[in-house]
Homo-oligomer: A and B are copies of this chain.
């Protein structure tokens, strides 16, 4: 990187570096005459201020770190887009980190972000250990949990009503006459996974339907694992009449497994899930699912982050916010009525 600095601009324009800085930031009066001279010098030298030096001095980077478990998941992509839309208007940029549901990767990402001195962190954690997160919060880095909460952390959080929507989804199956329902869970150490399982159990219990151990599978939110688990289940002779996938990716894996086993949805087996699958409109049959509005979640997250950032100096005793978004059950054509 060639180094044309503010100093050279100042020399060329025959002014002090302070004047150049003032022109650059446009926050102090500068005479028209000097201003044009400076701008001309900037133009001629193709000068671009060093953001690093600027940030170091100002102690703010206008960067927001976003850490999500899977950037390829349309849900998290929506969250990112919603967030970006809101904060970019205020001049913030986003550093997006992918953790692949991997705790170590998450740790490294967070560490890097803190070192880069991002102004805030938006995190959808795959961890159940709050140690490092608390360290960050203690350091005074604004941190917002999205989609996934974690115990023992005192920060703002914005999540979906996973328990309620899981209950609703399961109830829908039950009301369609299903009893042998299989659930493919996400990681139970992650709040969304746990809450969705709890909602499922609650509905089953309420209707007095026993949950069979062999119908409780774990897919860790990943298509491949869900695929494998369902394959394994189908190899045995136990076959459920319906499957609940605790997220979209696992639903995709499950569909593939069913397809390979020549089982039709919903004729042979019903399938419902959380969130939209990719290319939802082209995949047959269309799945009945819980519609999580990731975009809205991202926007809300952006608003909260901005609120924290803009009031940071003023108001040290801001109250923690907990936002719970309610999701809808979207009924399509993947559930067979058994009654």
Q: Decide: B1 and A46 in contact? CB cutoff 8 A.
A: no
- Which of chain B's residues have a CB closer than 8 A to the CB of A217? none
In the complex, are the beta carbons of A53 and B56 less than 8 A apart? yes
Least CB distance from A123 to B in Å reads 16
Asked if A50 is at the interface of the complex by the 8 Å CB criterion, the answer is yes
Among the listed B48, B141, B283, which residue makes an inter-chain contact with A114, where contact means beta carbons less than 8 Å apart? Answer: B48
Q: Does residue A256 face the partner (Cβ distance < 8 Å to B)? A: yes
User: Smallest CB–CB gap between A304 and chain B, Å?
Assistant: 18
Contacts of A59 in B (CB 8 A): 1, 3
CA–CA, A262 and B266, complex, Å: 22
CA distance A56 to B139 in the complex (A): 22
**Which residues on the B side are within 8 Å of A46 (C-beta)?**
135, 138-139
Flag if B281 contacts A284 (CB, 8 Å).
no
Residues of B within 8 A of A284 (CB): 284
CB of A153 to closest CB in B, whole Å: 16
Give the shortest distance, in Å, between A71 (CB) and chain B (any CB). 7
Return the chain B residue nearest A114 by Cβ: B48
Annotate A251-273 by CB proximity to B: 1 below 8 A, 0 otherwise: 01001100100000000000000
Contact B61 A72 (CB under 8 A): no
Residues of chain B lying within 8 A (CB to CB) of residue A3: 59
Query: Does A177 lie at the interface of the complex (its beta carbon under 8 Å from any beta carbon of B)?
Result: no
Chain A interface extent, by class: 35 or more
Q: Does A332 contact B (CB under 8 A)?
A: no
Q: A1-B141, A2-B139, A138-B46 are in contact. Are A115 and B252 (CB under 8 A)?
A: no
Is the Cβ of A51 less than 8 Å from the Cβ of B283? no
Cα–Cα distance between A49 and B48 once the two chains are bound (Å): 26
Give the Cβ gap from A140 to chain B, nearest Cβ, in Å: 4
A222 on the B face (CB < 8 A): no
Rounded to whole Å, the gap between the CB of A182 and the closest CB of chain B is 19
Contact of A117 among B50, B63, B111, B252 (CB under 8 A): B50
Q: Is the CB of B255 within 8 A of A140?
A: no
Output the least CB separation between A130 and chain B (Å): 15
Rounded to whole angstroms, the CA-CA distance of A203 and B22 in the bound complex is: 60
Nearest B residue to A312 via CB reads B1
Please tell me if the beta carbons of B72 and A117 are within 8 angstroms of each other in the complex. Answer: no
State A3–B59 Cα separation when bound (angstroms): 10
A93 interface residue per 8 A CB criterion:
yes
C-alpha spacing A322/B284, complex, angstroms:
42
What is the 8 Å Cβ interface bit string for chain A, positions 102-124, against chain B (1 contact, 0 not)?
00000000011011110000000
Tell me if B71 and A61 are in contact (CB < 8 A): no
Which chain B positions have C-beta within 8 A of A252? 279, 282
CB-CB nearest 6 A-B residue pairs: A51-B115, A278-B278, A2-B140, A278-B279, A279-B279, A52-B56
